[in-house]
Structure 1
Amino acid sequence: MEITFLGTSSGVPTRSRNVSSVALRLPQRAEIWLFDCGEGTQHQLQKSGLKSSQIRRIFVTHMHGDHTFGLMGLIASCGLAGSGQPIDIYGPKGLKEYLFAAAKYSYMNFGSRLKIHTVESGLLYEDKEFSISCQLLKHRVPAHGYRVVEKDRSGMFNLEKAQALGIPPGPIYGKLKQGEVVTLEDGRKINGKDLCGQPEIGRKFVYCTDTVFCDGAVELAQDADVLIHEATFAHQDADMAFEKMHSTTTMAAQVALLAGVKQLIMTHFSPRYAPGNPIQLDDLKQEAKAIFPQTKLAYDFYTHEIPRRREEKNKKVKVAT
């Protein structure tokens, strides 16, 4: 799993930062899942080297333009490029009407390749490898955060151990690889987990923007490997943050701390903290790190790989007779 930030500014683009969009690349599936799609996202994709033809799912947090104005251009370009793969788009009420109204007046035909899903808190999608859920956040308009969970994988099957135990090859190996307990013809019971290496723990990715500090974000981010959380304002501008229903750096850090995440990456920065201003982004970083040391600041085209984790395992093969 690899994250690429395509836009890290709030509200409006700047010379160095486009508006909100994050790409989650899943190399094992040759897919990209996009989170928000602000104006200019398709240009950012081209500059990043990511392939728009691999976009399979798009998740929209809320209907503000800095998170949605790039959708129609991206969809149109994908169609003109001949990438006719299906795309599932998830977002709040109003998203479907917005897209179809824009398509009507721009004479665009979506055909059958787009599926638009209106989200509610809870599980949105699940397959053998991943599950995706969302949670309502706290903003001026309905906004949802998203959580992607990769399912655990069994460790590598030790064929030599299986042969040394006299286990006959065949369908039984498949069951053992899945970690099942099997009974051999001679009555021995063998736990497949004891013949596999350390299991790979599924990775967890969480995306929360736009929101002021809320319990929904803490719940969504529990035990995440990476939490992407907006940090529009510095701590001293907390009054403004509450007024506009956005987060400060310290709010983002508190969510990460309470949720027990491993890495916090802050984004969605106000242009007021650009170079030359009294408070700059490095000051925002230090504010957050004082609460949650594992904090990074995102910037456009920053790529972060989420490493795999393995479960600790120091067990001998157990054979019951």
Structure 2
Amino acid sequence: MHLHFLGTSSGSPSQSRNVSATGVSFDKTKSWLLVDCGEATQHQLLKSTLSPYHLSVICISHLHGDHCYGLPGLLASMAMSGRVEPVCLIAPQAVIQFVMSTLALTQVTLPFDLNTMAIEQSDQSICVGFCHIEIIPLKHRVPSFGFKIKETLIPRKLRVKQLQLEGVASGAHYNLLQKGEDVIYKGRHLSAASYAFPSWRPRVVIICGDNEKPTLLSGYCGDIDMLVHEATFTHPDLMKVGTHTGHSDAKRVALFAQQHNIPALTLTHFSVRYHGEGMLDNVEHEARTHYQGTLRLADDFLVVTMPKKLLSE
């Protein structure tokens, strides 16, 4: 499971950072997921290892333009690339309306089904085949959401020794058990749950949209491996501009991650005032003062591989 930071600026782009977009790719499928799609995200993809042709799920956190203005153009380019497999768009209803209206006004016909799910009307838990997505309400100037993403395509290992000890000879039924299917062997029911287990514990990440209140995540963090959260300001700078921005500061997020024993924290969505060499030093110092886990400050094109926690019999 890999996180691809395609845009790490807030509000507007700069020479070194584009606006919000984060890709999530997986080990056992070419399909991948995109969280937010600011303007020029498709240009960022040209410089990454991710292929728009294999983009299967798009999650948009809220309707502000730095999180969704790039979506019509990306979909149009995917259409021209020859994609025919369906694409799932999970977004606020206003974003869906924006996308559909833009495509209609520019006379774009998609050769694939764009299956839309309005966050306000959908279940808060969605399975899309290669991952499970839980939607988390956040607090911003407009309704904003986070996405808890859990991988599901994990190879299973077979308890061969146990099967042999119980007199179950090898055969095609071994393969079925490993795939998770129960079988009948010589009149005996063999449960896949008893004889096969995942190779590693599912990796879980929360990727947030804009959010001024990290404590809203409290009920979702017990099993996560990483939190990706905006840190638009340092704490002193946020106090200067006022909390009306609807954003968080590095101190607030770091304290939350420390209090909830979150093993890894990646900060992103930095104000343009911090762009440039050495300009994020105060943000990093503030976060490290309050958080002792694995801390990253994302740059555009940073790729983070979430390590596997292998399971044994």
What TM-score does the superposition give when structure 1 sets the normalisation length? 0.85
Q: Which moved more, 1:232-241 or 1:118-127?
A: 118-127
Q: Which stretches in structure 1 are left out of the alignment for 5+ residues?
A: 314-321
Cα distance in structure 2, aligned partners of 1:195 and 1:103: 50
Alpha-carbon deviations, 1:294-314, whole Å to 9, x = none?
21100000000112113466x
d(CA) in 2 for partners of 1:174 and 1:58?
34
User: How far does residue 48 in structure 1 lie from its aligned partner after superposition?
Assistant: 1.1
* Distance in 2 (alpha carbons) for counterparts of 1:109 and 1:190: 50
Change (3 A) 1:171 1:284: same
Counterpart residue number, 1:251:
252
> What SS does the corresponding residue of 2:255 show, helix, strand or coil?
helix
Aligned position for 1:318: none
Between the two proteins, the alignment pairs up a number of residues equal to 310
Give the whole-Å Cα distance in 2 for the aligned partners of 1:237 and 1:12. Answer: 18
CA deviation after TM superposition for structure 1 residue 144, in Å: 0.6
Choose 1 or 2 for highest CA Rg: 1
SS of residue in 2 equivalent to 1:156: strand
Q: 1:123 to 1:249 in 2, by over 3 A?
A: same
Please tell me the residue identity of whatever aligns with 1:215.
T
- Worse-superposed segment, 103-112 or 49-58: 103-112
Q: Distance in 2 between matches of 1:61 and 1:44?
A: 19
- Residues 148 and 30 of structure 1: CA distance in aligned 2, closer, same or farther (over 3 Å): same
- Give the TM-score taking structure 2 as reference length: 0.87
Is residue 104 of structure 1 aligned with residue 108 of structure 2? no
Asked if the contact 1:154–1:196 (Cα under 8 Å) also holds between the matched residues in 2, the reply is no
Distance 1:72 1:102 in 2: 7
Report the counterpart of residue 273 of structure 2 in structure 1.
272
Identity %: 31
Establish whether residue 39 from structure 1 lines up as the match of residue 39 from structure 2.
yes
Shift of 1:81: 1.7
SS of residue paired to 1:98: helix
- The Cα offsets for residues 134-173 of structure 1, whole Å up to 9 and x where unpaired, read as 1110000011100111249575214355335422345764
Q: 1:72 to 1:29 in 2, by over 3 A?
A: same
Moved more, 263-272 or 304-313: 304-313
State the SS of the aligned residue for 2:210.
Answer: coil
Partner in structure 2 of residue 156 of structure 1: 157
Instruction: Specify the alignment match of 1:236 in structure 2.
Output: 236
The alignment partner of 1:84 has SS state of coil
Aligned pairs for 1:205-216 (under 5 A) are: 205-216=205-216
Q: Are residue 89 (structure 1) and residue 64 (structure 2) matched?
A: no
Is 2:26–2:151's contact at 8 Å kept on the other side of the alignment? no
Give runs of aligned pairs for residues 278-293 of structure 1, distance below 5 A.
280-293=279-292
Question: Cα–Cα, structure 1 residues 49 and 195, in superposed 2: closer, same or farther, change >3 Å?
Answer: closer
Alignment of 1:54-133 (within 5 A): 54-110=54-110, 113-120=113-120, 123-126=124-127, 129-133=130-134
CA distance in 2 between partners of 1:111 and 1:181 (Å): 39
Following superposition, the deviation at residue 206 of structure 1 comes to 0.8
Larger CA deviation: 210-219 vs 54-63: 210-219
Q: CA deviation at 1:126?
A: 1.4
How has the CA–CA distance of structure 1 residues 172 and 295 changed in structure 2, closer, same or farther, with 3 Å as cutoff? same
Q: Hey, what's the Cα distance between the residues in 1 that align with 2:4 and 2:303?
A: 4
Structure 2 counterpart of 1:291, which letter? H
Deviations 1:164-185 (A, max 9, x none): 5422345764676478999987
The 5-angstrom pairing of residues 169-208 of structure 1 reads: 169=170, 173=174, 177=178, 199-208=199-208
Seen in structure 2, the aligned counterparts of structure 1 residues 209 and 186 have a Cα distance that, compared at 3 Å, is closer
Q: Does the 8 Å CA contact 1:89/1:115 hold for their aligned counterparts? A: yes
- Looking at structure 2, the residues matched to 256 and 82 of structure 1 have their Cα atoms a distance apart, in angstroms, of 42
RMSD (Å) for aligned C-alpha atoms: 3.0
Rounded to whole Å, the distance in 1 between the matches of 2:116 and 2:192 is: 41
1:89, 1:117 within 8 Å by CA — same for their partners in 2?
yes
Q: C-alpha distance in 2, partners of 1:253/1:304?
A: 19
SS of residue paired to 2:110: coil
Letter in 2 for 1:34: L
Q: CA deviation at 1:218?
A: 2.8
SS in structure 2 opposite 1:257?
helix
1:172-208 per-residue CA deviation (whole Å, 9 max, x = no partner) reads 6467647899998799x99977765775211101101
Partners of 1:116 and 1:285 in 2: CA distance:
38
- Structure 1 pair 67/133, CA: closer, same or farther in 2 (3 Å)? same
Give the SS at the match of 2:163.
helix
